[in-house]
Amino acid sequence: MKKLLLIDADCGVDDAQAIMMALASPRVEVLGITCCYGNTLLENTCRNALRVLRICNKLQIPVFAGASAPILGGPLLGASFHGKDGLGDAPDPSAPGQELLQKEHAVNAILRIVNERPGQVSLVAIGPLTNLALAVKMDPTLPKKLRSLFIMGGNTESRGNITICGEFNFVTDPEAAYIVLNDYTCPTYIAAWEFTCSSLLPWDFYHEWVNQDTEKAKFMKKITAHSLQVSESHKETPGKREWASGFVSCDSYAMAAAIDENFITEASVIGVSVELNGSLTRGMMVMDWTDKLKKEHKAIVIKKCDLGKFQELMMAALK
C-alpha cells in the first residue's frame, strides 16, 4: 500500500524540491497540493506548484488555492532567499495558467480529502500553517481522521532565521502555528530549523545533483541559481556562516520523513507550543522539557536523520 500524502505548501524553491521528491517516490501517492502565501504571494505559489507538476508530468494532481494572508493579517514580507516570485525569479513564459487551479478552496479540499479516506492520509505542511489552522477550526475532528502530520517549521534552540528567535514558517503566522501544535493530536513530526541546518549536504553533492542530464535537473539548476548566490554571500555573514557552509533543502527533510519514517534516526518526544506575546520571541516554538504544560499529545521533534537515505531521495527527485 502506498502512503497517501496531501501537501500544503508556499511553493518556493525548497518546496519545489520537496514536492519533486514525493512525486518521484514509488512509496507514496500525492493526492493534491494546497497552496498558501509565504515565500511569495498566493498567486505565485499556486503558479509555482503548477510549474513543478508540469516538469514532473503530473499535472493531473489537483492544486488548490488557500489562505492569502495570516489569520490576523499583517504585512506579507515573503522570503527574498527564493526570489520575489518564489522560484528564483526565473520565469517561464509557457508556465501553466491559473485556469488549471481547482475551484474548491484549499481548506475545504483538506477537509474533503481527509474525510474521504479517514485514517489513511498524511498531511505534509511545508509553509505557514494558516490553511491547517483554518481547517481544524472548521472541523475539530480533523486530526482524529489523519494518519499523521509532518511539519517543516519552528525551532528548538531559539535560533531565528527571520527574527531573533523565530523560524520563517512559524513567524509568518504565529497564531496558526499555535493552533496547529495545540489542536492537532495525530502523530506529529517536526523538522525544525536547527535540525535542517545541522543536516546540510556538501556543496559537491548539490552540483552533482543539479548537473544530472535530465529536464528536471535543468529546471532545478535554473530556479536555485538565485538561492545559490545568496548562500555564497552569507558565507561571510556572522550568524549565517554555519548554514551557508552546505546545501540545505529545509522542506525536503519533512518530506523525507513523510515518505519513510526510518529516515529519522533520533528524535525528542516532547510537548511543544508557540510563543505569541514575547517582544523578542513571538513565533518561537516552545520546547516543554520539564513537562510544565502537561500536554497529553507530544510531538516527535527530529534531531538526526539518515543522510545517505536523504541523498538517495534527493537524487531520485531529479532523475
Active site residues: 10
Burial label for 246, CB within 10 Å (0-12, 13-18, 19+), is: middle
All cell numbers assigned to 106: 484549499
All cell numbers assigned to 15: 518546496
- In order of 2, 68, 182, the CA distances from 191 in angstroms are 22, 24, 17
DSSP 165: S
**Alpha helix (H) ranges present in 33-123?**
42-55, 106-116
Nearest residue to 193 via CA among 230, 168, 226: 168
Burial label for 235, CB within 10 Å (0-12, 13-18, 19+), is: exposed
Dist CA 139 CA 143 (whole Å): 9
- In order of 116, 195, 213, 269, 296, the CA distances from 299 in angstroms are 25, 15, 40, 6, 10
Question: Are the C-beta atoms of 284 and 166 separated by less than 8 Å?
Answer: yes
Dist CA 274 CA 161 (whole Å): 16
- In order of 164, 247, 259, 277, the CA distances from 280 in angstroms are 7, 29, 35, 9
